[in-house]
C-alpha cells in the first residue's frame, strides 16, 4: 500500500486521556484542544492548497487593532482531515500532525483567530489574570514589577519558578518593560488602543510534581478603552474567561483624594477631570459588556481591588483617612502559605479607606462582584518626577493581590499565625 493510501486509510479509534479547555490568550475564546488547527511547516508553490497564501482569519484579527495585513504565509491545516494514526498526542492533547506530504508540524493555532498557541495550552490549567483599570492608573508599571517580583522572590518563597513560556516572551518582557524601569529608571509610556495587544505568558510551576503548574496570561489592556463600548466589545471575552481580575485604582481617580493631595503638596495637580475616568465608570463598562449577561447580573470571578501608587497616600497620614503607622506603607512577605491574618488586616484597612473617599465605587463593586478583596500597592516605592524614577525601585506589597488570587483558586495554602 502506498504512503498516501496508508496516510488516508481507515482511521483507528483510540481513546485519549483527559485534557484542559484552552482559552486563547489572543482572542480569549474558549475551545476544546481537539478543535485546534495547524500551520503547515512548509509550502508547495505548485499546490494551491499548500502554497503561501493570505490568512484572512489572522488578518481579520489584526484589523481590530488597525494593523497592516501580514504577508502570505504557510497554509492552515484542519486536523479533522488527517487520519488518527498521523496525529500525535501528549498528555491527552493533540500537539502534532503529519500532512499529505509526510511532513510534520507542531504549530498549533487558535481556530478562531489563527494566532499560534503556547506549547502548554490544553496540557495544564490555563489561568488568565486580567489587569484592568482606567487610563493613567499604572497598569503597565504594576504588571512589570509584579512579574519581576514573582520571578526573583515570590516563586522561590512557594517552592516554584515563574518562567516565560517562550524566548520571544522573555525578550519582549525584558526589552519593553523590565529594562526601562529597572535598568534605565524610566516610566513606561501608556498602552495605546491601536497597539497590537500581545499577551505576556508565564508559567508558575511548582517544584512538587503533584501540583499542576499555573499558566499566567497577563494582558495589558489600554486604560482609555475600558470606558469605550467598541473597545470593550473586543475584550469582554478576555475578562469573562479570566480566572481572576486585578482591578487597579489610582488614588487620583478619587476626587476627594485628588483635592486633598493637591492642597497638601501646595502645588497645582491640574484639572484631572479629562484625564481620569472614575473607577465606577470602568465597572459600568464591564457590566455592559459581560457582567450584565451573567446570572443575577453578577460575576463570581475573584477580583482584587488594588489601590496603586500607595506611597502618595503618605501625605495624608495622620488624618482620618490613613494612620501614620498604617500597614499600607509596610512591605510584607508571604512565604510557603498565604498569611490570612495579614490579608484580613490590609483588606479591612483599605476597604474602610475606599468607603470614606468613594462610597459609590464600593457599592458598585458589591452589586456586580460576589468575591472581592482590597489591597494597596506601590509598584516603585516612590513617586517619579518627570517620568524619571528618583531612587531604587522598591515595590511594596505588589505580589499580595496576586497571591490572594492563587489562594482563591486553591493553588496555594492559607494559614493563620
> Among 93-102, 292-301, 357-366, which stretch is predicted with the lowest mean pLDDT?
292-301
The C-alpha cell that represents 149 in the structure block: 517580583
Q: Assess whether pLDDT exceeds 90 at residue 275.
A: no
With H, G, I as helix, E, B as strand and everything else as coil, classify residue 373: strand
DSSP bridge pairs for 122: none
Q: Under DSSP, is residue 173 helix (H, G, I), strand (E, B) or coil?
A: helix
Q: Where are the alpha helices (DSSP H) in 241-315?
A: 255-265, 279-289
Look at residue 121 in the predicted model and tell me its pLDDT.
87
Q: Which residue has the cell 493555532?
A: 109
Q: What confidence tier does 304 reach under pLDDT thresholds 50, 70, 90?
A: very high
pLDDT for res 327: 87
Per-residue confidence at 276, pLDDT binned at 50, 70, 90? Answer: low
Q: Is the pLDDT of residue 193 over 60?
A: no
Q: What is the pLDDT of residues 244-272, one digit of tens each?
A: 989 888 887 777 777 666 555 554 444 44
pTM above 0.75?
A: yes
Model confidence at 98: pLDDT above 70: yes
| Of the candidate ranges 50-54, 148-152, 189-193, the one whose mean pLDDT is the lowest | 189-193
Distance CA 234, CA 196 (A): 12
Task: Specify the pLDDT at position 2.
Answer: 47
The superfamily (CATH) of domain 126-415 is P-loop containing nucleotide triphosphate hydrolases (3.40.50.300)
Question: Sheet of 104-105: strands edge to edge?
Answer: 87-90, 93-98, 104-105
- 16 pLDDT band, cuts 50/70/90, is very low
Give SS3 for 149: helix
Cβ 142 vs Cβ 57: under 8 Å: no
Residue 253, beta-bridge partner list = none
Nearest to 249 by CA among 130, 363, 408, 361: 361
List, for residues 350-377, the tens digit of each pLDDT value: 999 889 888 888 988 898 889 999 999 9
What residues form DSSP beta bridges with 96?
88
Q: DSSP string spanning 27-46?
A: T--EE-GGG-EEE-SS--TT
> What is the model's pLDDT at position 29?
83
What is the Cα–Cα distance from 75 to 52, expressed in whole angstroms?
Answer: 6
Cβ atoms of residues 20 and 122 within 8 Å:
yes
- 125: Cβ–Cβ under 8 A, 6 or more apart, which residues? 20, 212, 214, 215
Fill in the DSSP letter of residue 382.
S
| Overall average pLDDT of the 396-411 stretch | 94
Q: What is the mean pLDDT of residues 163-183?
A: 90
Q: How confident is the model at residue 32 (pLDDT cuts 50, 70, 90)?
A: very high
Q: Where are the domains of the chain?
A: 22-109, 126-415
Taking the CB of residue 146, how many other CB atoms lie within 10 A of it? 24
Q: How far apart are CA 8 and CA 17, in angstroms?
A: 24
What's the full length of the chain, in residues? 417
Q: Cα–Cα distance between 408 and 304 in angstroms, integer? A: 11
φ, ψ of residue 113 to 5 degrees: the values are -125, -10
The rounded percent of the chain whose pLDDT value lies above 70 is 76
When pLDDT is averaged across residues 318-331 and rounded to a whole number, the result is: 79
Q: What is the pLDDT of residue 240?
A: 78
Question: pLDDT value at position 284?
Answer: 65
Average pLDDT, the chain: 81
Task: For 205-239, write each residue's pLDDT tens digit.
Answer: 899 887 878 877 776 555 444 445 555 555 666 77
The residues, ordered by sequence, that sit 6+ positions from 283 with a Cβ below 8 Å of its Cβ are 361, 364, 365, 368
CA atoms within 13 A on the CB side of 395: 23
Which position has the higher pLDDT, 276 or 356?
356
Which pLDDT does position 287 carry in this prediction? 59
Q: Which residue has the cell 493637591?
A: 262
Residue closest to 216 by CA, chosen among 293, 292, 154: 154
Q: Is 290 strand, coil or helix?
A: coil
Query: Residues with Cβ < 8 Å from 82, sequence gap 6 or more?
Result: 97, 98, 99
Residue 265 exposure: Cα atoms within 13 Å on the Cβ side: 15
In this structure, are strands 200-206 and 93-98 parallel, antiparallel, or unpaired? unpaired
Amino acid at each position: 500500500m502506498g504512503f498516501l493510501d496508508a496516510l488516508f486509510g481507515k482511521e483507528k479509534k483510540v481513546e485519549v486521556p483527559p485534557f484542559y479547555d484552552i482559552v486563547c490568550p489572543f482572542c480569549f475564546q474558549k475551545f476544546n484542544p481537539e478543535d485546534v488547527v495547524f500551520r503547515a511547516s512548509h509550502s508547495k508553490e505548485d499546490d494551491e492548497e499548500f502554497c503561501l497564501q493570505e490568512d484572512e482569519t489572522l488578518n481579520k484579527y489584526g484589523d481590530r487593532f488597525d494593523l497592516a495585513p501580514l504577508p502570505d504565509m504557510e497554509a492552515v491545516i484542519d486536523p479533522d482531515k488527517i487520519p488518527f494514526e498521523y496525529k500525535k498526542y501528549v498528555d491527552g492533547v493533540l500537539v502534532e500532525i503529519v500532512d499529505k506530504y509526510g511532513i510534520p508540524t507542531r504549530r498549533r493555532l487558535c481556530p478562531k483567530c489563527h494566532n499560534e498557541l503556547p506549547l502548554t495550552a490544553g496540557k495544564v490549567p490555563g489561568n488568565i489574570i486580567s489587569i484592568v483599570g482606567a487610563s493613567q492608573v499604572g497598569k503597565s508599571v504594576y504588571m512589570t514589577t509584579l512579574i519581576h517580583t514573582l520571578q526573583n522572590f515570590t516563586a522561590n518563597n512557594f517552592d516554584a519558578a515563574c518562567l516565560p513560556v517562550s524566548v520571544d516572551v522573555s525578550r519582549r518582557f525584558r526589552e519593553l518593560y523590565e529594562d526601562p524601569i529597572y535598568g534605565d529608571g524610566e516610566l513606561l509610556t501608556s498602552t495605546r488602543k491601536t497597539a497590537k495587544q500581545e499577551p505576556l505568558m508565564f508559567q508558575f510551576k511548582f517544584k512538587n510534581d503533584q501540583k499542576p503548574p499555573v499558566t499566567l496570561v497577563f494582558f495589558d489592556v489600554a486604560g482609555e478603552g475600558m470606558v469605550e463600548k467598541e473597545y470593550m466589545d473586543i475584550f469582554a471575552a478576555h475578562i469573562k474567561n479570566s480566572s481572576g481580575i486585578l482591578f487597579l485604582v489610582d488614588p487620583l481617580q478619587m476626587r476627594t483624594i485628588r483635592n486633598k493631595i493637591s492642597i497638601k503638596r501646595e502645588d497645582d495637580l491640574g484639572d484631572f477631570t479629562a484625564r481620569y475616568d472614575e473607577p465606577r465608570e470602568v465597572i459600568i463598562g464591564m457590566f455592559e459588556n459581560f457582567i450584565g449577561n451573567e446570572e443575577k447580573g453578577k460575576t463570581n470571578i475573584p477580583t482584587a481591588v488594588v489601590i496603586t501608587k500607595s506611597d502618595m497616600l503618605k501625605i495624608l497620614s495622620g488624618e482620618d483617612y490613613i494612620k501614620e503607622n498604617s500597614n499600607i506603607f509596610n512591605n510584607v512577605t508571604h512565604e510557603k502559605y498565604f498569611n490570612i491574618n495579614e490579608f484580613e488586616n490590609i483588606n479591612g484597612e483599605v476597604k474602610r479607606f475606599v468607603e470614606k473617599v468613594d462610597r459609590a465605587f464600593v457599592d458598585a463593586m458589591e452589586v456586580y462582584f460576589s468575591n472581592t478583596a482590597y489591597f494597596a500597592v506601590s509598584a516603585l516605592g516612590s513617586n517619579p518626577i518627570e517620568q524619571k524614577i528618583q531612587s531604587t525601585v522598591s515595590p511594596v506589597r505588589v505580589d499580595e493581590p496576586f497571591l490572594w488570587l492563587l489562594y482563591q483558586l486553591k493553588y496555594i495554602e492559607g494559614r493563620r499565625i
